[in-house]
Structure 1
Amino acid sequence: MLKSLTLLVLILCTTLVVTHSRVIEPNDANTVRQTCSKTPNSALCIQYLNADPKSSTADVNGLALIMVNVIKSKANIAVNKINQLKGSIPPAQKVALKSCADKYNAILVADVPQATEALQKGDPKFAVDAANDAAIEANGCENGFSGKSPLTAENNVVRDASTITSAICRLLL
């Protein structure tokens, strides 16, 4: 009798767990797609977010934080390129390169920390401002060169990541 009762309780518990559990589906397929559809470049947004495994469980705020990290990563790549160019750039472009170094320093020292803190504290308005500022800084770097900038690819990547980030942060307002 005790074995039958134990078996019955086990079956009931299993049935309860199975019927009341939902299948855990990746959040990224839906949340990432829906969020990115509201940005200026949804394909690039999806690409950046899907590259981070945390996106599969992130809410919109979490996706915004991931994108702030994308800005940081891409800005660091630009800084590395600036450092590589220092010795080989024509003298006429040295002033513009120094200006770019300052602009990317502002992105990494001010904009990225401001956006991160704002999102962590639940104040997305300041994250929007910081992401917009990062885009402005990248454009400023690009426009500082007379003619062809040696940082066009890096500036475009940072600008695009920043505008996507700003759009995601605006969804939190």
Structure 2
Amino acid sequence: MSDEAMIINVCSKTPNPSLCQTCLHSDPKSATANVKGLAMISITCGTRDADKLYTDTDNLYTNTKDPALHNLLDNCWWRFLGARDNIDSAGRMLSDKGSDAAKLAITRDAMPMITYCSDLFKKSPTVAVPKNIIDEMNVVSTDCLIILGILSNF
């Protein structure tokens, strides 16, 4: 299978093949990577996106004058930091312990942090959470599903 065919095949098993391919193509190593290498690249993308979510949320938490938004973000900024660190740790788990351990880092440790805040925001419809935060949360959730989809190839 050619390298591009492998990327297309691996990404076809994820919920967002287009985002998956964009992520994998963002790293030149994807051209010669095996499936484990592609999984590592997807983890790097997820970590990067989760870091942006954490940074943007922390800045908003620190600077907002809206007390309701501040209180809501008080429950989430540190969860987004935890999600970032847990996505990143999935790479170490994959290297040290294999794909099952990496999947656990995503499903047990990272995804619940994002889901908690997503649910919290839905339960607080009167609080104006900026669209970029919602969008970034959705990207990180999708990143996690892409990582799991790639890990399912092992």
TM-score range, shorter chain: 0.7 to 0.9
Partner of 1:164: 146
> Aligned in 2, Cα 1:54/1:83: closer, same or farther, shift over 3 Å?
same
Check if 1:99 corresponds to 2:99: no
Normalising by structure 1, we get a TM-score of 0.77
Match of 1:63 among 38, 45, 51: 38
Partner of 1:52: 27
Partner of 1:33: 8
Uncovered stretches (5+) of structure 1, i.e. residues with no partner:
1-24
Residue identity over aligned pairs, in percent, reads 29
> Aligned in 2, Cα 1:83/1:56: closer, same or farther, shift over 3 Å?
same
Partner of 1:83: 58
Moved more, 42-51 or 85-94: 85-94
Uncovered stretches (5+) of structure 2, i.e. residues with no partner:
none
Query: Could you say what the CA RMSD is over the residues aligned between the two structures, in angstroms?
Result: 1.8
Match of 2:129 among 137, 140, 149: 149
Larger radius of gyration: 1
- Residue 143 of structure 2 aligns to a residue whose secondary structure is helix
Once the two structures are TM-superposed, the CA of residue 122 in structure 1 deviates from its matched residue by 4.8
Amino acid at match of 2:143: A
RCO (CA 8 Å, sep 6+): is it higher in 1 or 2? 2
Output the CA distance in 2 between the equivalents of 1:89 and 1:141: 20
Whether the 8 Å contact between 1:134 and 1:159 is mirrored in structure 2 is no
Moved more, 93-102 or 66-75: 93-102
Normalising by structure 2, we get a TM-score of 0.85
Aligned length: 146
